[in-house]
Amino acid sequence: MIRTVYVERAVRDHARAREILARLPGARLIEIERYGDVFNSHDQSFRVQKAAPALVLAEKVSRHVLAAPAGYGFPDRENFYFSHMLNCLYDCRYCFLQGMFASAHYVVFVNFADFTDAIERTLEGAAGPSAFFSGYDCDSLAFEGVTGFVRTLLPFFAEHPEACLELRSKSVAVDALLESDPLPNCVAAWSLSPPEVADALEHGAPSPGARLGAMARLAERGWPIGIRFDPLIYHQGYADHYRRFFAEVFERLPLSSVHSVSLGLFRRPSPFMKKLLRMYPEEPFLAAPLEDQDGVSSLRPELGDEMRAICTRALLEHVPESLLQPCFSGETP
């Protein structure tokens, strides 16, 4: 439950800010000048805030759409991402947002129209087909009940079939999608882990089974489904756990509905990993043998290569290679 809301003075009377505030009648309202005054202070504890995050309502004034990091996105498109929100409702121990942000508060940028305007401008200037990723700095669907962002976004992409949108989520809040006709250019993608990993590390997130249920409902309605086995978590028995889980996933989801499948080892920029280790020194999965290479910390190569090979082999028992996306080299939530 959100009990504290910081709101930038400039958006206090913005229609969407008023709508959101109306859904949080018991919250204490604190006016601020800029969200960075609350969000960016580096002496904060992400872990403590995560137990009771505040909501920050702000205006995104620039850089609404950004080029995706190298290696992130669809191989045949120019890839971009945008973030109407910073941070996520869930508390996944491996989440890279913990390393990236100083605060666990949820920031929602209420000027949605500026995002769609920026996407439109990007499309006009793009050399070829483009893809836009939501859910890089947040979960695309989990906070939909409060923000209504996806409901704003879908009509825009319905009018721009040349552009591809990926919504990335662990949520089962799929009403916004079920209420809309399926869009062939909108991929609803889920991050999935076997129950052994999810139970231990994905605190507050719907169970993998519940996520699969939501995905199956959307698949049935004709939405293209993305499956992201990312990050793969190294632990005792991982080969069996992932093998069993892949079988369950593709038993419940018709292959015809699957847009793409990707799989990536747990990896983080080295400074993010250091922060993670300070926050959760007691986490067993962070005790795996890690190594820094080119500023990225990940499983020691001999173990990482083996894990990737085992999981890829297990996955290819269920999906054709053509559906496999290359592993994203950058960080992912």
> Which residues would be at the binding site for another protein (CB under 8 A)?
3-4, 6, 28, 30, 32-33, 37-38, 41, 43-45, 47-54, 89, 91, 103-104, 196-197, 199-201, 203-204, 233-236, 277-279, 281-289
Q: Which is nearer to another protein, 53 or 224 (CB)?
A: 53
CB of 65 to another protein, least distance (A): 29
* Among 111, 131, 114, CA closest to 67: 131
CB of 286 to another protein, least distance (A): 7
CB of 151 to another protein, least distance (A): 24
What's 239's DSSP letter?
H
Q: Are 104 and 53 in contact (CB under 8 A)?
A: yes
CA distance linking residue 259 with residue 271, whole number of Å: 33
CA distance linking residue 130 with residue 139, whole number of Å: 21
CB of 130 to another protein, least distance (A): 36
* Among 40, 159, 157, CA closest to 167: 157
Q: Which is nearer to another protein, 48 or 67 (CB)?
A: 48
Helices 238-252, 301-316: axis angle to 10 degrees equals: 30
Q: Which three-class secondary structure state does DSSP give residue 215?
A: helix
Which uninterrupted H or E stretch holds 226?
strand 225-232
- Looking only at the bridges linking them, the beta strands covering 106-109 and 66-67 are unpaired
CB of 25 to another protein, least distance (A): 15
Residues in the chain: 333
What's 282's DSSP letter?
T
Q: Which is nearer to another protein, 37 or 76 (CB)?
A: 37
CB of 169 to another protein, least distance (A): 17
Q: Which is nearer to another protein, 151 or 235 (CB)?
A: 235
Q: Which is nearer to another protein, 104 or 225 (CB)?
A: 104
Q: Which is nearer to another protein, 282 or 321 (CB)?
A: 282
Q: Which three-class secondary structure state does DSSP give residue 158?
A: helix
Helices 208-221, 238-252: axis angle to 10 degrees equals: 30
Q: Which is nearer to another protein, 50 or 259 (CB)?
A: 50
CB of 134 to another protein, least distance (A): 22
